DNA sequence: GCTTGCGTTGACGCTAACGTAAAGGGAATA
DNA sequence: TATTCCCTTTACGTTAGCGTCAACGCAAGC
């Protein structure tokens, strides 16, 4: 039955995850190489569980906020440390606290950058409206952006 | 008189800007190579004006929010386009609008990442308080972070 | 039996953003 | 005069994060 597809027992092929999150198989294998993912196997083939999928979501969000993969790995270990190697996580704790402060600073930078880029765009649009109104962007373009956001997973920063 | 140092006629050597913003001369020359800066010269030596300094601030903030240098250059051109090549900026306008949407998404990601990293840290600290209270971080560490923030310019994401 | 499709493991390539020497030019200081 | 700085340019090296083959395995369909 189709409901199976929603049940947490469900597994994913590499291709399925790639399509869902718009990444390449190469990227997933790379993350595995670097210790961020560890899917089980069916023979040679990778089998991704729901937990693997959740980890991948965290990885991609980490990337979107600018974290290097090495640090994302540590954070994932922090999550995964149910009760075992608390000592080792303790060692990283100070660094994580530091990172939090950095991220809060980054958020302020981001707000400021958004404000300024917006106002710069509006300035140009006004100038453009006076000189060449025909070149002004159509509302349809913004529709497309909004639809893209509702798809959930945003595009990477370096997207063309 | 010392007040000269605050006046907008003031100029800077490469070393002065580097110390102020914690970057290397190599980086400034690199930005110049890529067309993000264009200081004047005294003989062979670079002379940075207040406007150059302001551009550098924008560059560094752009970097902190994850923009590639090439795009920062375009944004700087957008700012600098007082009335001249509005046509050319018009061409980039759609891309900038798109970028703004991305940055707003990035902001949400950032908020979420901060929340989760905080709670993960607190979880570990609680476990640690039960088992090894001696390993808990000292308040002095947080003082240091706060002082660093009050210095103004935050450290790069990839700082050790 | 042969192609088609999805999977695998190397291995080499590539871009961005600098780091790091090498080699040298002025100016001030000892 | 020699050393010491600070500056310059040129050029090669480095790291992260994958992209892009190449060569192969296996299963299904014609």
Query: C-alpha angle B145/B146/B152, rounded to 5°?
Result: 100
**Under a CB-based contact definition with an 8 Å cutoff, are residues B92 and B74 in contact?**
yes
Backbone phi and psi for residue B43, each to the nearest 5 degrees, phi listed first: 70, -120
**Under a CB-based contact definition with an 8 Å cutoff, are residues B19 and B53 in contact?**
no
Residue that wins the pLDDT comparison between B91 and B155: B91
**Residue B157: band (very low, low, confident or very high) from pLDDT cuts 50, 70, 90:** very low
Q: Report the chain A residue with the minimal C-alpha distance to residue B152.
A: A105
Report the distance from CA of residue A49 to the C1' of nucleotide D22 in Å, as an integer.
Answer: 30
Which nucleotide lies closest to B71 by the C1' atom and the CA atom? C16
A35 touches strand D (CB under 7 A): no
Tell me how far apart the alpha carbons of residues A63 and A60 are, in angstroms, rounded to a whole number.
5
Residue that wins the pLDDT comparison between B84 and B63: B63
Start-to-end CA distance of chain B, whole Å, equals 39
A45 touches strand C (CB under 7 A): yes
Cβ-Cβ contacts under 8 Å for B59 (sequence gap 6 or more): B31, B36, B37, B69, B72, B76
A94 touches strand D (CB under 7 A): no
- Interval B92-113 mean pLDDT: 95
Report the distance from CA of residue B20 to the C1' of nucleotide D15 in Å, as an integer.
Answer: 26
**Under a CB-based contact definition with an 8 Å cutoff, are residues A86 and B131 in contact?**
yes
Tell me how far apart the alpha carbons of residues B125 and B107 are, in angstroms, rounded to a whole number.
27
- Interval B150-155 mean pLDDT: 43
CB contact under 8 A, B103 and A118: no
A26 touches strand D (CB under 7 A): yes
Report the distance from CA of residue A9 to the C1' of nucleotide C25 in Å, as an integer.
Answer: 71
- Residue B70, chain A, CB below 8 Å: the answer is no
Cβ-defined contacts of B127-130 (< 8 Å, 24+): B127/A83, B127/A86, B128/A86, B128/A90, B128/A93
- Interval B127-141 mean pLDDT: 68
**Residue A45: band (very low, low, confident or very high) from pLDDT cuts 50, 70, 90:** very high
Q: Angle, to 10 degrees, between the axis of helix A69-80 and the axis of helix B86-131?
A: 30
Domain limits of chain A?
Answer: 1-80, 87-160
pLDDT for A145 equals 55
CB contact under 8 A, A64 and B111: no
**Residues from chain B contacting residue A97 (CB–CB below 8 Å):** 121, 137, 141-142, 145
**Under a CB-based contact definition with an 8 Å cutoff, are residues B50 and B8 in contact?**
yes
Pick the CATH number of B1-80 from 1.10.1660.10, 3.40.640.10, 3.30.1490.20, 3.40.50.2300: 1.10.1660.10
Q: pLDDT per residue over A85-134, tens digit each?
A: 666 777 788 899 999 999 999 999 999 999 999 999 998 888 888 876 76
- Interval A131-156 mean pLDDT: 55
């Amino acid at each position: 039955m189709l409901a199976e597809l929603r049940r947490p027992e469900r597994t994913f092929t590499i291709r399925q995850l790639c399509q869902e999150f718009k990444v390449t198989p190469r990227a997933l294998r790379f993350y595995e190489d670097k210790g961020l993912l560890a899917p089980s196997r069916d023979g040679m083939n990778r089998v991704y569980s729901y937990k693997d999928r959740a980890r991948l979501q965290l990885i991609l969000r980490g990337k979107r906020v600018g974290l290097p993969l090495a640090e994302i790995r540590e954070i994932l270990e922090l999550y995964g440390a149910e009760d075992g190697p608390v000592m080792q996580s303790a060692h990283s704790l100070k660094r994580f606290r530091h990172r939090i402060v950095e991220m809060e600073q980054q958020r302020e930078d981001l707000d400021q950058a958004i404000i300024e880029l917006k106002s710069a765009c509006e300035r140009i649009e006004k100038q453009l409206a006076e000189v060449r109104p025909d070149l002004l962007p159509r509302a349809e373009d913004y529709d497309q952006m909004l639809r893209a956001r509702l798809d959930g997973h945003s595009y990477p920063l370096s997207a063309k």
